[in-house]
Amino acid sequence: MEFNSFLDYLLFEKKYSQKTIVAYKNDLNTFYDFNLDKFEQKGIKKVNYSQIRSWIVSLVADKISNSSINRKISSLNSYYKFLLKTGDIKTNPLNEHKSLKTKSTIQLPFSESEILDALNYKNFKISFEGYRDYLVLELLYTTGIRRQELIDLKIQNIDYPNRRIKVLGKRNKERYVPLIDSCINSIKKYMEFRNKLKNIKSNDALFLTSKGKKIYDNLVYRITKKYFSGFTTKLKKSPHILRHSFATHLLNNGADLNSVKDLLGHTSLAATQVYTNRSIEEIKKVFKKSHPRNKG
């Protein structure tokens, strides 16, 4: 297959996750099939920009969002950069390409009161699923870990004596994140119910379904949406918003930016600095309180 060496490069040298590699593979295969159908050309090593442009036009016609198109083109660009590196091509056909414009959307974090309301024990059943759901949300908020990092947590990743967890982040980079006392207690309570499950199929995985299987992306999303729907009017209710809330609340309460960067597992401060912007709601409160035209 044309892309095998590139996909191996992503896996073994770039240390990308299997999920990310599958996304790259799908994007490349989609363009390969388009090129074969439209231009009757096997392979995409030797294409010109007009062919890529035709693909972009077809994606727009299919009502694919600009952000999704940009991601597909980014996959293609990475492939051509790899071919330049290996000497298989002399020029990158995407050298002059400019990304499509996308709407910038502001993702508001949950407020501290919304978090407290949603993470009220009264909202959770005294059952395996109730304790699991509570711990999922508490860990996401009190550690700021990513959804996939939470899914991949293993029982042996919990360091009780040092009150921390070992997290396997992007590109298989490990980091330790501290646990607050309430989170330690929640883990212990959850484990009591987990240990009573029958037919456990994923012995090492911390979080399981009621059937003993490792939890999955959509389940974590559904858990977040379920418990926050009654306590916030914000449209976005996802695990990432809990990560966003974790960082925002730490910074609002005086945490050092570099420390937050390390906790989040970011490789650069640029990725962390987006959380330094105060939420729209907070800005409105300050405006209403401080602007002379609002005083009366």
Residues 121 and 36 in one domain: no
- Residue-level pLDDT at 233: 84
> Which domain covers residue 162, as residue numbers?
112-285
Residues 233 and 174 in one domain: yes
Residues 24 and 157 in one domain: no
Residues 135 and 232 in one domain: yes
Listed in sequence order, the DSSP H helices in 91-238 are: 112-118, 128-143, 147-151, 181-194, 217-228
- Residue-level pLDDT at 63: 94
d(CA 98, CA 256) in angstroms, rounded, equals 36
- Are 49 and 96 in contact by the 8 Å Cβ rule? The answer is yes
Does residue 292 form part of some domain? no
- Are 146 and 169 in contact by the 8 Å Cβ rule? The answer is yes
Q: What is the pTM of this model?
A: 0.74
Listed in sequence order, the DSSP H helices in 62-105 are: 66-86
Helix, strand, coil % over all residues of the chain, rounded to 5: 60, 5, 35
d(CA 274, CA 158) in angstroms, rounded, equals 30
Does residue 183 form part of some domain? yes
Residues 134 and 280 in one domain: yes
Residues 130 and 67 in one domain: no
- Residue-level pLDDT at 3: 95
Does residue 73 form part of some domain? yes
- Are 175 and 164 in contact by the 8 Å Cβ rule? The answer is no
**Residues known to be catalytic:** 146, 170, 240, 243, 266, 275
- Residue-level pLDDT at 296: 47
Residues 45 and 174 in one domain: no
CATH number at residue 198: 1.10.443.10
Residues 178 and 274 in one domain: yes
**Pick from 95, 137, 135, 152: which is nearest to 229 by CA?**
137
Domain count, the chain: 2
**Pick from 199, 114, 230, 206: which is nearest to 158 by CA?**
206
Residues 119 and 82 in one domain: no
Residues 215 and 123 in one domain: yes
Q: What is the pLDDT of residues 223-264, one digit of tens each?
A: 999 999 989 888 889 999 999 999 999 988 888 889 999 999
Does residue 64 form part of some domain? yes
Does residue 293 form part of some domain? no
**Per-residue pLDDT for the chain (296 aa), expressed as one digit of tens each?**
789 999 999 999 988 888 899 999 999 999 999 999 999 999 999 999 999 999 999 999 999 999 999 999 999 999 999 999 999 999 999 999 999 998 766 678 999 999 999 999 999 999 999 999 999 999 999 999 999 999 999 999 999 999 999 999 988 889 999 999 999 999 999 999 999 999 999 999 999 999 999 999 999 999 999 999 989 888 889 999 999 999 999 988 888 889 999 999 998 888 887 776 544 445 455 556 655 555 54
Residues 157 and 59 in one domain: no
Residues 66 and 209 in one domain: no
Does residue 169 form part of some domain? yes
